[in-house]
Amino acid sequence: MSDITEIKRGLAARAQSVSEMLLPAGKKVGHEWEVGSVLGEPGKTLKVHLVGEKAGIWCDFATGECGDLLDLWCSVHNIKLVEALDRARSFLGVKRPVEVRDLRVPRRTFKQPPKPLCSVPTGKVLDYLREDRNISAEAIAAYKIGEQGDKIVFPFLSRDGSKLILAKARVAADNQKPIPTASDCAPTLMGWHLVPENAREITICEGEIDALSLYDYGRIGMSVPFGGGKGAKQDWITTDYDQLEAIEKFYLALDDDAVGDQACEEIASRLGRHRCYRVRLPRKDANQCLVEGVSKEEIDKAFQAAKTVDPDELRAPIDYADEVSNLFWPEVDQHIGYRTPYDKLGFKFMFRPGEVTLVGGAAGDGKSQVVSDCVVDLVQQGARTCLLSLEMKGKFTLKRMVKQAGKIDRPTAQFVEKILRWLTPGLWIYDLVGKVNVDLILDVFDYARARYGCDVFIIDSLMRLGVASDDYVGQEKVVYQLVEWATSKNVHLILVAHSRKGEHSRGVPDLQDFKGAMEIGANAHNAIMIWRNRKNEEQLAHEENEAVIKALKEEPGVVFNLCKQRNGDFEGKIGLWFDQDTYRYRSSHDPVGGRNYVNAIEGVQNAAA
C-alpha cells in the first residue's frame, strides 16, 4: 500500500519512464525531458528534471505552470488529483491505502441531518462573532454560518458544498460548547467545501470559530467535529479517508495543551507522521491569536516552523547541539559522572548516569574490594550510593570501608564512629544476604532513588539474583532489566560478576571471560575485569634477594582492565598496588601517601558535635 508521499517518490525514481508515457513527443536532452507544453507537441518550453533531488519536478516556462509528476499527470489528462493517484498506483503496481478499523465493531450507518431553520447572521450572532470574536464578515459568509435565535449554526458540508453532512449549534456567548443538531450524523471536518479540488495541504484546528479565525489569517481552517483528545473523537478520519489520501501535508493547528497534543498524536498515528506537521501558535488557539491582535506575519512564522509529529525517540542531529557541546565543555557543577579514585584513569572513565558497569574477576582477585574502594571515594565526590552485597553482611562491608576511608588497619572505636558518620550522608546499605529476585531489589532501589536521591547503585553479585548458572536466557533477561532500569532512572548501576573457572592461569581476563551468557557483557555499557597477579605475590613471599624484591614490588599486583566502554574513548589496562593493612588500591599516578579523607571525616564529626 502507498500514500501520496510514497507515490511521489516512486514516480520520481522513474521520472524518465513517466515523462515518456505522458509526453511521448518529447525527447531527452541531458538530464531533462523537453516538450512543447502539457498538450504534448514537440518543443523545448516544458522541461522535466529526470535525476537528482529535483527528479520529477517540471515547469512550463511559457505559462509558469509547474509542479511534480502528479501535477503533470493532472494537467496532461485534465483529471483530478484523486484520479491521477489511482493511475499512478496502477503504473507503479501498488495498492490503495485503506483506513484500518476494528473489524469486531460493525460499520456504522449515518443519517443526513435535516437542514437547520436558520438565516444569515444579522443580530446577536453577528454581534458576537464580529465584536467578541473579531471574525470578519467574509469568514462568516465563506463558512455559510447561520443564525437561529441566539444560537450560531455551523454547517459541515460535502466537498462540492451541495450536501449537509453534520450541523452543530451553540449559544452566541463565551464558554459555550457546540452540539450536533441531529444524532447519528457522520463525523467529518468542517470546511471541505472551501478546499480546492487538487489541494495538497490542509490546516486542521480544534474548534469551529478557530477555523473562521484561520480564514481571516489567509488560511482555510478545517475544524475537527468533536474537539481534541484521542480515540472516537477523531473518527472523522474514517469518514473522510478517501479525501484525505490525496493530501500530502496536514498542518495540525490544534489547541496548545495536553488535549490538543493527544489529538495530534492520534491523527498523526492514523494519517502518517510524515504527513502531519504540528503548528505551535503564539497563543492557545487561533481565535485567541485573532482577538489579541497577533499579526499574520507571526502566524505565518508559526506555520513555517511547524514540525512533523515524530516519535520522541527520533531526533535530528541538531537537536543534540547543547547535549553534545556539554560533553566537550560541561557546565560548571554539571553532573557528568563520578571518577574512580585512581588518577591513572583520570577522566578517561566515569561512572556516568544512565549506564551499567559490569565488574568481574576470579574469586579472591579483589573485585568487590575494588568496588568498595571506589564507593568510599564516591562519598567524597558527593555521590549517594545504595549498596547491596548479597555475599556479605552490612557490618562486614562497612568494616572494610572503614579501613579504606580511614587509611588505617585498626581504628579506635571513636574513629570508627567518625568514619561511619562521614559515610552516612552518601551511603545506604541494603542489608540482605542470599538469593533474591531482581524485581524485589528494584523496588527497594526505586525507594532509595525517590526518598534519598541515590544516584549510584551496586549489586554484588549477579550469581545471587535467583538465576541458575547455566540459565543463559535468564541471565540475559536480568542484565537487560537492570540496564533498562538504570537508563530510565538516569542512575549508574555497578553489577559485580564472576569470571569463568580456569581463566586465571591465562592471565588478565577480558570481556568474553565473564561467567555465564555472552549477552551479559554485550548488554552492559562498561565492563571491568580485576586480575590479581598471584605469581608476583608468590615470588615476593619466597624471594630473599633485596634487589629482586624491590623490582617485584615495582610491578603492580593487580590489573584493572577496562575492557569495554560504550560511551568513552579509552579502553585498556592500568596497574594497581594493593595495601593489605588498609584494603586500599593505588595507581602509579596517585599522590604520595595516597588519598586523604581524614580532614573531611574530622570536619563532619566536629560539625555534628
pLDDT digits (tens, 9 = 90+) for 274-310: 899 999 999 999 999 999 999 999 999 999 999 988 8
**Residue ranges of domains in the chain, CATH in brackets:** 4-92 (3.90.580.10), 124-308 (3.40.1360.10), 338-608 (3.40.50.300)
Residue by residue, DSSP assigns 124-161 as HHHHIIIIIS---HHHHHHTT-EEETTEEEEEEE-TTS
- What is d(CA 592, CA 588) in angstroms, rounded to the nearest whole number? 10
- Does position 99 have pLDDT exceeding 70, yes or no? no
Q: What value does the mean pLDDT take over residues 226-238?
A: 90
DSSP assignment letter at 514: B
Residue by residue, DSSP assigns 80-108 as -HHHHHHHHHHHHT-PPP-----TTSPPP
- What is d(CA 332, CA 330) in angstroms, rounded to the nearest whole number? 7
pLDDT tens digits for range 490-546: 999 999 998 886 545 568 999 999 988 888 888 999 999 999 999 998 998 888 899
Residues 6+ apart with CB under 8 A from 530: 359, 360, 361, 365, 366, 367, 370, 558, 559, 560, 561
- Residue 435's φ and ψ, nearest 5 degrees, are -100, 140
What percentage of the chain carries pLDDT values higher than 90?
76
- Does position 222 have pLDDT exceeding 80, yes or no? yes
- What is d(CA 411, CA 408) in angstroms, rounded to the nearest whole number? 6
Closest CA to 186 of 236, 127, 125: 236
Whether the CB-CB separation of 186 and 165 falls below 8 Å is answered with yes
- Chain CA centroid to CA 227, Å: 27
302-307: Cβ within 8 A, 24+ apart = 303/203, 303/219, 303/251, 303/253, 303/279, 305/280, 306/251, 306/252, 306/277, 306/278, 306/279, 306/280, 307/277, 307/278
C-alpha cell, 458? 551496586
Residue 19's pLDDT band, with cuts at 50, 70 and 90, is very high
Closest CA to 578 of 555, 552, 558, 596: 558
Q: What is the pLDDT of residue 96?
A: 78
pLDDT tens digits for range 466-478: 888 888 889 999 9
- What is d(CA 168, CA 157) in angstroms, rounded to the nearest whole number? 12
Element housing 297 (H / E): helix 296-304
Q: What is the pLDDT of residue 591?
A: 86
Q: Is the pTM of this model over 0.95?
A: no
- Chain CA centroid to CA 331, Å: 23
C-alpha cell, 80? 483530478
- Does position 608 have pLDDT exceeding 50, yes or no? no
Average pLDDT, the chain: 91
Residue 609's pLDDT band, with cuts at 50, 70 and 90, is very low
Q: What is the pLDDT of residue 607?
A: 43
- Does position 105 have pLDDT exceeding 50, yes or no? no
Q: What is the pLDDT of residue 333?
A: 62
pLDDT tens digits for range 154-182: 999 999 999 999 999 999 999 898 999 99
- Does position 107 have pLDDT exceeding 70, yes or no? no
- Does position 153 have pLDDT exceeding 70, yes or no? yes
What percentage of the chain carries pLDDT values higher than 70?
95
Grid cell 559485580 is found at 496
pLDDT tens digits for range 424-474: 999 999 999 999 999 999 999 999 999 999 999 999 989 899 888 888 889
Residue 133's pLDDT band, with cuts at 50, 70 and 90, is very high
Closest CA to 482 of 499, 451, 458: 458
- Does position 603 have pLDDT exceeding 90, yes or no? no
Residue by residue, DSSP assigns 586-602 as E-TTSPTT----HHHHH
pLDDT tens digits for range 237-247: 989 988 998 99
3-state class of 528 per DSSP? strand
- Give 235's Cβ-side CA count (13 Å radius): 12
- What is d(CA 191, CA 213) in angstroms, rounded to the nearest whole number? 12
3-state class of 541 per DSSP? helix
Strand runs labelled E in 149-260:
151-157, 164-171, 179-180, 201-205, 221-223, 249-252
pLDDT tens digits for range 242-266: 899 899 999 999 999 999 999 999 9
- The counts of H helices and E strands in the chain are 21, 25
